[in-house]
């Protein structure tokens, strides 16, 4: 944007979707799936044990089941069902929720059985960092759609849409003034119109090009209306510390950076306190202070880097993973030095910015929607190869 950088952060995921952003990382194996099943059982044998039925071959595509089969088989739990039946229907609902909402591919009609190890133990579902995994997948999908040969966007699009409506009032539909939890449910009845698609897109592009600082809401979650419906657990320190952390987001083979050091104005109240916040977001003093914050890392951004070098890191990546007592940073455990590095880059004097230089990769095929694992990229003919972009826009500063 002309007035500074902004992006979707873990804070937005917590407020918009109500998902936990701390917990164990969401990962596992995608190829040769049966080898890693508990007890060495084939994947479909375990599927039958958990759901009591196996989908017919016509409803299966390798390790994915058609969503229509799930809907027809587990559409409505029968009355008076016993506990085992209820658990089967709960597993099916969670599988569909994960496969078609949070981690959807561009087909929109398949559910991968990679989720079997997670739904097998329903009591442990809340111990995973679903929020960070969903954000990692959204970052990756937005990177892919930035390539000119890609025309469809996958991922948790309800998060992206709700973030746009909350942050950009100009794009917000009228008639949705009632707040509820999670905040993305505010737009549950919104149905976009498909009429005049071409002129609308052109109009929105013109609006984006002409956006002013007054037309972006830096802190939409501090209003009394939001605080009235807010779940109190969201504001627990163990969650809030992750909102301000420069760390990695993990979703199977997808790893993206959570670079809040580049969007500090979105956390203005967290850094300077509510008493120092100017209520007039467009005032000259407010804009001057935002500009000063965003220019702190300017020398580091302009520092020339060669493809063979990276900016120095203050985090020892070889340090064993730890989980401090009382302050659990639970994205799978992280080196203790990461806490210091994150806090210094946010609250104190700016340190060297974190630059992630991905290797050059061939352009992925438009229909390659599966998570990369052993063969993450598809090589096609002699197409020109372009580097895969990072989901947070760090490629713009190299």
User: Is residue 284 one of the residues assigned to a domain?
Assistant: no
User: Is residue 314 one of the residues assigned to a domain?
Assistant: no
84: CB partners within 8 A, 6+ apart: none
Q: 204: pLDDT confidence band, cut at 50, 70 and 90?
A: confident
User: Is residue 165 one of the residues assigned to a domain?
Assistant: yes
**Domain enclosing residue 171, as ranges:** 10-266
More confident of the two residues 77 and 312: 77
User: Is residue 348 one of the residues assigned to a domain?
Assistant: no
> What value does the mean pLDDT of the chain take?
74
- Reported as type and span, the H/E element at residue 256 is strand 254-258
Flag the least confident range among 227-231, 281-285, 287-291.
281-285
User: Is residue 306 one of the residues assigned to a domain?
Assistant: no
Q: Give the rounded percent of residues in the chain with a pLDDT score beyond 70.
A: 63
Number of domains the chain contains: 1
pLDDT of residue 379: 39
User: Is residue 29 one of the residues assigned to a domain?
Assistant: yes
pLDDT at 329 over 50: no
Mean of pLDDT values over 299-318: 41
pLDDT at 134 over 60: yes
Q: 330: pLDDT confidence band, cut at 50, 70 and 90?
A: very low
Mean of pLDDT values over 310-334: 38
Within the chain, where are the H helices? 10-17, 43-51, 67-74, 83-97, 116-119, 130-145, 157-167, 197-209, 224-229, 237-243, 268-272, 284-294, 298-302, 337-347
Q: 292: pLDDT confidence band, cut at 50, 70 and 90?
A: low
Q: What one-character DSSP code corresponds to residue 26?
A: B
User: Is residue 205 one of the residues assigned to a domain?
Assistant: yes
- Per-residue burial over 158-169, b if 16 or more Cβ lie within 10 Å, else e, is bbbbbbebbbbe
User: Is residue 385 one of the residues assigned to a domain?
Assistant: no
């Amino acid at each position: 944007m002309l007035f500074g950088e902004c992006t979707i952060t873990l804070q937005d995921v917590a407020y918009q979707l109500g998902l936990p952003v701390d917990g164990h990382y969401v990962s596992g194996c995608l190829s040769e799936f049966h080898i890693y099943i508990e007890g060495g059982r084939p994947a479909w044998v375990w599927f039958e044990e958990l759901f009591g039925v196996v989908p017919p071959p016509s409803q299966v595509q390798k390790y994915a089941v058609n969503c229509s089969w799930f809907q027809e088989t587990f559409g409505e739990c029968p009355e008076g069902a016993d506990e085992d039946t209820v658990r089967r229907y709960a597993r099916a609902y969670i599988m569909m929720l994960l496969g078609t909402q949070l981690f959807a591919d561009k087909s929109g009609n398949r559910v991968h059985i990679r989720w079997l190890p997670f739904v097998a133990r329903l009591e442990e579902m809340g111990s995973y960092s679903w929020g960070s995994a969903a954000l990692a997948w959204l970052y990756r999908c937005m990177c892919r759609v930035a390539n000119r040969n890609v025309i469809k966007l996958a991922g948790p699009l309800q998060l992206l849409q709700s973030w746009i409506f909350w942050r950009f009032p100009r794009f917000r539909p009228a008639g949705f003034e009632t707040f509820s939890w999670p905040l993305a449910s505010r737009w549950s009845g919104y149905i976009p119109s498909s009429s005049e698609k071409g002129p609308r897109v052109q109009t929105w592009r013109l609006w984006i090009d002409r956006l002013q600082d007054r037309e972006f809401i830096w802190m939409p979650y501090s209003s009394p209306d939001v605080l009235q419906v807010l779940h109190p657990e969201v504001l627990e320190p163990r969650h809030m510390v992750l909102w301000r952390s420069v760390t990695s987001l993990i979703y199977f083979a997808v790893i993206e950076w959570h670079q809040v050091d580049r969007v500090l104005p979105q956390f203005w109240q967290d850094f300077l306190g509510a008493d120092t916040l100017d209520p007039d977001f467009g005032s000259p003093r407010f804009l001057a202070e935002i500009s000063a914050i965003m220019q702190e890392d300017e020398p580091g951004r302009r520092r020339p880097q060669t493809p063979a070098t990276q900016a120095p890191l203050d985090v020892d990546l070889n340090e064993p993973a730890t989980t401090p007592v009382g302050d659990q940073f639970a994205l799978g455990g992280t080196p203790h030095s990461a806490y210091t590095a994150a806090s210094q880059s946010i609250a104190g004097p700016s340190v060297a910015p974190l630059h992630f230089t991905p290797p050059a990769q061939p352009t992925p095929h438009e229909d390659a929607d599966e998570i990369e694992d052993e063969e993450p990229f598809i090589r096609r003919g002699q197409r020109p190869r372009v580097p895969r972009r990072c989901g947070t826009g760090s490629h713009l500063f190299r």
